């Protein structure tokens, strides 16, 4: 492995995690420059138009990068996009070896990847297996990979439910099922995504802000808020339409009142009007894809979550289970929709982690196919 240093790679990965949700449509990448066993440069990908992780780390290392090793979580890019190719900077810096964890699936990359560009300059390019847990490393880049390969954002569903599988009482009361510690964790999840999606039912009943709060992480990151409201039912005074807190985009249909749309547009809300009602979910995700959105978090009721499940559009789940019963057959569960008639048809998820979140249990799961990309 040519003296591969797992601690250096782990540091690069930690840097990458700090910029999740802030780099789309680019992937969140971390990089460190190592010389004689010491990190002399480090960096992470900046927002679109800013330097990639490799250039940030090389700039910090300066002339000392000549003859040093570069550790990067994703294969360096070889093409000029918003910024010049990172391979150009690596060559100019005189890097000796490049260790990277995941191949870049961008179609603009050559078939032999960065090696085809760097090897002729005497630079060793080494594809390494990231240190354990590999699942966390694969999940970290999954939104970027998923958007490129499937032409839609990676979709994460989050919900809180009781021990008997209810997300609200039969009268519609849902605040608060989960413990405050779990709710703080949700804000950490929000801080790592590009957009938060909800439906008109949740917007009308709970009047959520869908902003990042209650987190110790110092960040100015504000995810885009996305509302699906085909009929224009959400009051224009709702928190989600306060664009001083966060940007908002609404997907609606011709069935919504024109004055409702005009009012929202005047408030700075971006409006997309579909000819179909309800608005097709795949059309919404396709539009978000064109906007460069890699990762969408869904915080919604059983109707929207069920529609996503029916269409096989849920890729990851964060479920918070509270230790109590709600009861009543009329109380909703987390997933509505048409459902399945045979268990052989269901989408099985891979459990990534199960742990206590104060009084609750937090289950993190995702599609098994994520680890095959």
d(CA 373, CA 371): 6
Q: Which of 54, 75, 299, 316 is catalytic?
A: 54
Q: Which structure tokens are listed for 169?
A: 């009482």
Q: Which of 72, 76, 103 is nearest to 92 (CA)?
A: 76
d(CA 228, CA 200): 6
Residue 54 appears among annotated catalytic residues: yes
Q: Which structure tokens are listed for 162?
A: 């009781």
- Return the SS3 of 11: helix
Is residue 75 a contact partner of residue 103, using CB atoms and an 8 Å limit? yes
**Which residue has tokens 């009012």?**
263
What is the β-pairing status of strands 248-253 and 270-274?
parallel
d(CA 136, CA 260): 43
d(CA 172, CA 34): 56
Residues acting as catalytic residues: 54
């Amino acid at each position: 492995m040519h003296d591969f240093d797992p601690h250096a790679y782990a540091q690069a990965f930690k840097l990458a995690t700090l910029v999740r949700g802030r780099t789309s449509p680019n992937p969140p990448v971390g990089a460190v420059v190592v010389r004689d066993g010491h990190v002399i440069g480090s960096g992470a990908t900046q927002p679109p138009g800013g330097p990639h992780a490799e250039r940030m780390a090389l700039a910090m290392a300066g002339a000392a990068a000549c003859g040093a090793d570069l550790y990067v979580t994703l294969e360096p890019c070889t093409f000029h996009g918003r910024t010049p190719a990172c391979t150009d900077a690596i060559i100019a810096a005189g890097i000796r070896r490049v260790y990277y964890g995941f191949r870049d699936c961008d179609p603009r990359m050559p078939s032999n990847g960065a090696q085809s560009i760097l090897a002729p300059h005497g630079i060793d390019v080494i594809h390494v297996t990231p240190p354990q847990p590999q699942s966390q490393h694969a999940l970290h880049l999954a939104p970027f990979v998923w958007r490129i390969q499937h032409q839609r954002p990676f979709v994460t569903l989050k919900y809180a439910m009781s021990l008997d599988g209810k997300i609200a009482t039969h009268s519609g009361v849902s605040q608060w099922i989960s413990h405050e510690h779990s709710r703080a964790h949700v804000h950490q999840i929000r801080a790592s995504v590009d957009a938060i999606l909800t439906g008109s039912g949740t917007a009308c009943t709970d009047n959520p802000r869908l902003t990042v709060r209650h987190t110790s992480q110092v960040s100015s990151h504000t995810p885009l808020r996305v509302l699906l409201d085909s009929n224009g039912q959400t009051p224009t005074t709702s928190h989600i339409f306060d664009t001083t807190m966060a940007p908002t985009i609404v997907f609606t249909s011709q069935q919504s009142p024109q004055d409702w749309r005009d009012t929202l547009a005047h408030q700075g809300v971006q409006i997309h009007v579909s000819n179909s009602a309800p608005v097709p979910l795949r059309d919404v995700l396709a539009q978000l894809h064109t906007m460069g959105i890699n990762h969408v978090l869904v915080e919604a009721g059983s109707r929207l979550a069920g529609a996503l499940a029916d269409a096989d559009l849920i890729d990851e789940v964060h479920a918070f289970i509270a230790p109590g019963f709600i009861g009543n057959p009329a109380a909703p569960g987390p997933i509505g929709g048409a459902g399945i008639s045979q268990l052989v048809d269901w989408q099985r998820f891979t459990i990534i982690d199960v742990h206590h979140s104060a009084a609750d249990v937090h289950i993190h799961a995702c599609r098994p196919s994520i680890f095959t990309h």
